[in-house]
Amino acid sequence: MASPSFRGRRILVACGLSGAFILVIVRLVNLQVMQSAELTVKADRQHQKNVTLEGARGTIYDRNSKVLAMNMDVPSVFGVPASLGNPGTAARNLSPILHVKATELEKKLKQEKHFVWLARKLEPEQGRRLERLGLDGVGVVMEGRRFYPKGPLLSHVLGFAGMDDRGLEGVELRYEQYLRGEKRAVVLQRDALGRAVFPKGLNEEGAAAGHSLTLTVDEVVQYIAEKELDEAVTRSSAKSGTMIVMDPRTGAVLAMAVSPRFDPNTVGALAPDRWRNRALTDTYEPGSTMKAVIAAAALEEKVMTPGSMIYGENGQFAIANTIIHDHEKAGWMTFAQMIQKSSNIGAAKVGMALGEWRVFDYLKEFGFGDKSGIDLPGETAGLLRGPRQWGKRSLASISMGQEVGVTPLQMVTAISAIANGGVLMKPYVVSEIRNGKGQLVAQNMPQAKRRVISADTARTLTTLLEGVVTNGTGGKAAIPGFRVAGKTGTAQKVDPRTGKYSSTLLVGSFLGYVPAEDPRLAMIVVIDEPRGEGWGGVVAAPVFRRVGEQVLNYMGVAVDEPVKLAMAGLES
């Protein structure tokens, strides 16, 4: 039996333990019940971190799945001035890596701020060098940056995305809603050291990447078009140049080149004028290339046949107190010869035979005066006034491609309609949209807008346009082994100083398709303000030939007429 003193001590200890236990219970009730709501919020604030994740911007591919634009995480560098020991030393160490003057960096690092950006969206290698440097008070975060690995290739169509990863021009702007990555707010669990720990749900996925786009453009065809166009613009000291290569059967754009080009990777310093896609934003008077459309109308309406005779007025034709000139004086000529020789007087007479409304209606039918509906931003409708607004000379002028404003895209879409047998197609540059998992989201299919001329008329006109290349003004567009149909154009521009047509400011162009029998390519070449001989047949037709020859070879299109073999001087 325990002694009374031992028993007393036991009771004392029991009371002490019970008291302590009761205190713990009271404290627990106080924490878990009384202050539960408030402390839960505090704990969550310490353990959880709300972050907004943004999926990478979608990739843009050419028709053969070659990457044209893609996002990559790159390092951005920030400084925490308060944590820096010596801003001067840090600035000197950072300067050669960031390629920023040490004095500029030092100025930033001496600011009384908690956070300053030192450089954003650098090359990955710069980030690795910074990590090796290991400076206190200098940190690196990763941000998505848009890369255009092919440089200036297709820049006017692709456009570009800004510093905030939003599309600002071209396809990047037009398809912003698809390309943009998903934004998702997530809650991260953190431990005492601030590290992310076990996620709430194992199946929780990050923000989905933006959709990828597949273009109709072929990077090789685009390269050929840009190279040849650049050379032609340089050779002729022209102000600019535009070229479009289209599949006339579908309206798919295979290449769209504008010279001079720009590099979308370094767009910041450039004026907006440089990145404007002139192929669909700039209008010009098409000149004689418009005669192809007038001829289509005349043949369709049976106003003319290839053998119809037209009097050339020996090169001078008075109309509405003005005189229309032809470069080659002609007397009687057939309708076919009128097209071949590109007679202005002949075209004016054909237009007059058709009448104002029929000319206007056909121009509208071929898509002039309206946007083509291509899936690119900034397209203009051009300028086509109604006959009620026409002057006395307008019918004649419009028939030879004056007093009407068109875009190169409208012209190539119109010639495609003649090439494919009379159906106006809607042009497009994006063929497929796929989500981050590669599943098809949307598809652009060839879309016929309307029939503009009959297949018979298209065939007859093709023969006439072949004559332009074999016997007429477009001889330099001839491609060995292929029958080429096309039309040259040389338009005078209005001199902004005088307000009158200039004899030196010209737009030379060539519009055509090849092979004439079963066209695979419809192309337009427009050279703006070439120096020296500015005729379309001189400055633009050779570009058509060089591009056509290379692209047909690349596409493996078989010859459609006997060809002389250069290596042996033989006929196959």
Partner 1 sequence: MKAVAFAAVTSLVLLFVWERVDIVRIGYHIERLKAQKVLLERERDELQVKLSGLTAPERIARLASDKLGMLQPEKGQVVVINFEPETPANPVAAEGEIRIAKNMVTRRAR
Active-site annotation, residues:
288
Q: Which of 480, 504, 531, 533 binds partner 1 (CB under 8 A)?
A: 480
Nearer to partner 1, 195 or 388 (CB): 195
Q: How far is the CB of 66 from partner 1 (least distance, A)?
A: 7
Stretches 12-20, 43-51, 61-69, 270-278: which one binds partner 1 (CB under 8 A)? 61-69
What three-state secondary structure class fits 521? strand
Nearer to partner 1, 28 or 555 (CB): 555
Q: Which of 78, 110, 176, 223 binds partner 1 (CB under 8 A)?
A: 223
Q: Which of 203, 389, 503, 572 binds partner 1 (CB under 8 A)?
A: 572
Angle at 317 between CA 312 and CA 323, to 5 degrees: 145
The verdict on 198 binding partner 1 (CB under 8 A) reads yes
Q: How far is the CB of 8 from partner 1 (least distance, A)?
A: 29
* Exposed / middle / buried, residue 364 (Cβ in 10 Å: 0-12, 13-18, 19+): middle
Q: Which of 84, 91, 153, 304 binds partner 1 (CB under 8 A)?
A: 153
Q: How far is the CB of 480 from partner 1 (least distance, A)?
A: 4
Looking at the DSSP bridge assignments, the partners of residue 347 are none
Task: Check the CA dihedral 55-57-63-68 and report its sign.
Answer: negative
The verdict on 532 binding partner 1 (CB under 8 A) reads no
* Cα distance between residue 226 and residue 252, in whole Å: 18
The verdict on 529 binding partner 1 (CB under 8 A) reads no
Nearer to partner 1, 153 or 292 (CB): 153
Q: Among candidates 430, 412, 477, which has minimal Cα distance to 242?
A: 412
Amino acid at 241: G
Q: Which of 53, 72, 186, 352 binds partner 1 (CB under 8 A)?
A: 72
Kindly determine how many residues on this chain lie close enough to bind partner 1 according to the rule CB under 8 A: 43
The verdict on 229 binding partner 1 (CB under 8 A) reads no
The verdict on 147 binding partner 1 (CB under 8 A) reads yes
Q: Which of 47, 227, 393, 493 binds partner 1 (CB under 8 A)?
A: 227
Residues 487/289, Cβ–Cβ less than 8 Å: yes
Q: Which of 8, 19, 96, 149 binds partner 1 (CB under 8 A)?
A: 149
Amino acid at 477: A
Amino acid at 452: V
Q: Can you give the length of the chain in residues?
A: 572
Nearer to partner 1, 223 or 501 (CB): 223
Nearer to partner 1, 227 or 358 (CB): 227
* Cα distance between residue 540 and residue 542, in whole Å: 6
Residues 129/97, Cβ–Cβ less than 8 Å: yes
* Exposed / middle / buried, residue 353 (Cβ in 10 Å: 0-12, 13-18, 19+): middle
Residues 522/419, Cβ–Cβ less than 8 Å: yes
CB atoms within 10 A of CB 145: 22
Q: How far is the CB of 142 from partner 1 (least distance, A)?
A: 8
The encoded tokens of residue 5 equal 């003193």
The encoded tokens of residue 557 equal 């299109």
Angle at 18 between CA 14 and CA 24, to 5 degrees: 150
The verdict on 564 binding partner 1 (CB under 8 A) reads yes
Residues 127/140, Cβ–Cβ less than 8 Å: yes
Bridging pattern class, strands 60-61 and 212-215: parallel
For residue 511, CA distances in Å to 67, 267, 354, 413 come to 30, 31, 23, 10
The verdict on 211 binding partner 1 (CB under 8 A) reads no
The verdict on 150 binding partner 1 (CB under 8 A) reads yes
Residues 283/405, Cβ–Cβ less than 8 Å: yes
Nearer to partner 1, 154 or 418 (CB): 154
Stretches 90-98, 332-340, 403-411, 550-558: which one binds partner 1 (CB under 8 A)? 550-558
Stretches 266-274, 455-463, 505-513, 561-569: which one binds partner 1 (CB under 8 A)? 561-569
The verdict on 141 binding partner 1 (CB under 8 A) reads no
The encoded tokens of residue 105 equal 């960096």
The verdict on 566 binding partner 1 (CB under 8 A) reads yes
Q: Which of 12, 41, 196, 323 binds partner 1 (CB under 8 A)?
A: 196
* Cα distance between residue 331 and residue 334, in whole Å: 10
Q: How far is the CB of 265 from partner 1 (least distance, A)?
A: 10
Among residue numbers 102 through 131, which ones bind partner 1 (CB under 8 A)?
124
Q: Which of 141, 197, 440, 455 binds partner 1 (CB under 8 A)?
A: 197
Nearer to partner 1, 136 or 518 (CB): 518
Q: Which residues bind partner 1 (CB under 8 A)?
A: 66-68, 70-73, 124, 142, 147, 149-151, 153, 189, 195-199, 202, 219-220, 223, 227, 480-481, 549-550, 552-553, 556-559, 563-568, 570, 572
